[in-house]
Amino acid sequence: MNAVDSSLRRADPAVVRSDWTRAEIRGLFELPFAELMFQAQSLHRRFFDPTKVQISTLLSIKTGGCPEDCAYCPQSARYDTGLKASKLLDRETILTAAREALESGATRFCMGAAWRAPKDRDIAELCGVIEEVKRLGLETCMTLGMLTAPQAQKLKGAGLDYYNHNLDTSPEFYAQVITTRTWRDRLDTLAHVRGAGMSVCCGGIVGMGEQVEDRVGMIHALATLPTHPESVPINLLVQVEGTPLMGEARVHPIDFARAVAVARVAMPRSMVRLSAGREDMSDETQALCFLAGANSIFSGDRLLTTPNPGGDRDAALLARLGMKSDGQAGTR
C-alpha cells in the first residue's frame, strides 16, 4: 500500500485530517487520473449523496471601485475593464433578488460587495438584510472583504450562515496575484469568522499562471486549517479584458478536474463548489467535476460581474446526468 492509499484509509470512515503534508497532497495530484477519480468518488459517496447538487445564487450587492489590485478581478479600480462602479444596493432590491432566487430553486443566497473592508455603518445595514433574507428561508453567505472580530460577531448575530474569503492560491504564488493585502490578512479574517461561530467558505482559483505545485500549496493550506472550510469553491479563472491575467494559458479540463478531486479527497466533508468559470466549461467538463466530488454550483446568468450558465442550461445538464438539485445535499 502506498502513502496515498494509507492517507485515504486514515480518513475512513469519519476522521477528517488537518495534518496533511505537502508531499501527500502532491502525491494525490500525481496519481493516475482514474485512480484519483476513484478515491475522490469513493470518499464523496461516504459523506454525500452523489446524485444531489446544491444550488446557490450569487448577487453583487456593491459593484466595482475596489482599491485592491487582485489581478483576476474586473472590479478593481486599478484596471480599465469597462465596469461602472456602484454603491451598495438598497435593501428592497436585494430582497427582490433573494425572492427570485428562492422561486428559481436556490436555497442558498450569497451576496458579494467589492470592498477592501466594510465600514461599521455598512455592517449595520447588512445585518438588517441578513435578517430579512433569513426570514425567506434561505441560507445566507456574504463576501465583503476583510473583517474585524467585532464585525464578524455582528454578522453572526444577525444570522449569517457562511462568510466567504478565499485564499486564492498558494502562499508562494500569492504575491504575484495580489499585493494590496497579505496572506496573513486573509488568515486573520478567517480566524475572526471562525471565532464568531460562522461557517467558512474558502477556496481558490485555478488558471492564473500558477504551477501545479501552487495548486498543491493552495489545497494544502485549506486542508491544514484547524477546521476545514465547510464550503470550498474551486474557481476557474474568468479572463476579463483589462485585467493583468487576460491572455493566460487555458487550463486543460482534466487538470482542472484533478484540482477538484484532490480537494474532495483532502476535505471529504466539505461542500466542494464548482464556482466561477462554468460558462467556459463544456457539459462534459462539468460532469467530470461532479464525478470528482463537486456538489454545489451557482445558478443564474451572472456570477457577480461575469457570465454564468443560466438555470435552464443547468437544469438540462443535471437531468441528462440523472442528478437533481438539492440545497440540503449535506453530509450523511
The mean of the pLDDT values for the chain is: 88
**Average pLDDT value for residue range 292-312:** 67
- Residue 3 has a pLDDT of 43
- Residue 129 has a pLDDT of 94
Indicate whether 5 pLDDT > 70. no
Indicate whether 328 pLDDT > 60. no
104-113, 143-152, 185-194: lowest mean pLDDT where? 104-113
- Residue 311 has a pLDDT of 64
What tens digit of pLDDT does each residue of 148-200 get? 999 999 999 999 999 999 999 999 999 999 999 999 999 999 999 999 999 99
- Residue 44 has a pLDDT of 94
DSSP-H helix ranges across the chain: 3-10, 22-30, 33-47, 91-103, 120-135, 149-158, 183-196, 212-223, 253-266, 283-291, 311-321
Indicate whether 329 pLDDT > 50. no
Beta strand pairing status for 139-143 and 108-113? parallel
**CB-CB contact of 162 with 134 (8 Å):** no
**Average pLDDT value for residue range 139-146:** 93
**Average pLDDT value for residue range 89-93:** 92
**Which CA distances in Å does 19 have to 149, 190, 226, 234?**
26, 19, 9, 21
Indicate whether 145 pLDDT > 70. yes
- Cα angle: 96, vertex 97, 102; to 5 degrees: 100
- Residue 2 has a pLDDT of 45
Backbone torsions φ then ψ of 310, nearest 5 degrees:
-75, 165
- Provide, rounded to the nearest whole percent, the portion of the chain with pLDDT above 70: 90
- Residue 316 has a pLDDT of 86
What tens digit of pLDDT does each residue of 230-261 get? 999 999 999 998 999 988 999 999 999 999 99
- Judged by DSSP in three states, 234 sits in strand
Q: Which residue, chain included where needed, has cell 486542508?
A: 223
- Provide, rounded to the nearest whole percent, the portion of the chain with pLDDT above 90: 64
**CB-CB contact of 273 with 294 (8 Å):** yes
**Average pLDDT value for residue range 295-320:** 70
Indicate whether 6 pLDDT > 60. no
Indicate whether 331 pLDDT > 50. no
Indicate whether 140 pLDDT > 80. yes
Indicate whether 327 pLDDT > 80. no
Within a 13 Å sphere around the CA of 331, how many CA atoms are in the beta-carbon half? 12
Does the global pTM surpass 0.75? Answer: yes
Beta strand pairing status for 306-307 and 302-303? antiparallel
Sign of CA dihedral 238, 112, 167, 259: negative
Catalytic residues: 66, 70, 73, 110, 141, 201, 273
Beta strand pairing status for 108-113 and 52-62? parallel
Within a 13 Å sphere around the CA of 183, how many CA atoms are in the beta-carbon half? 15
- Residue 300 has a pLDDT of 55
Number of H helices, E strands in the chain: 11, 12
Within a 13 Å sphere around the CA of 122, how many CA atoms are in the beta-carbon half? 21
| Assigned C-alpha cell, 170 | 498558494
- Residue 80 has a pLDDT of 83
Which residues pair with residue 273 across a beta bridge? 233, 296
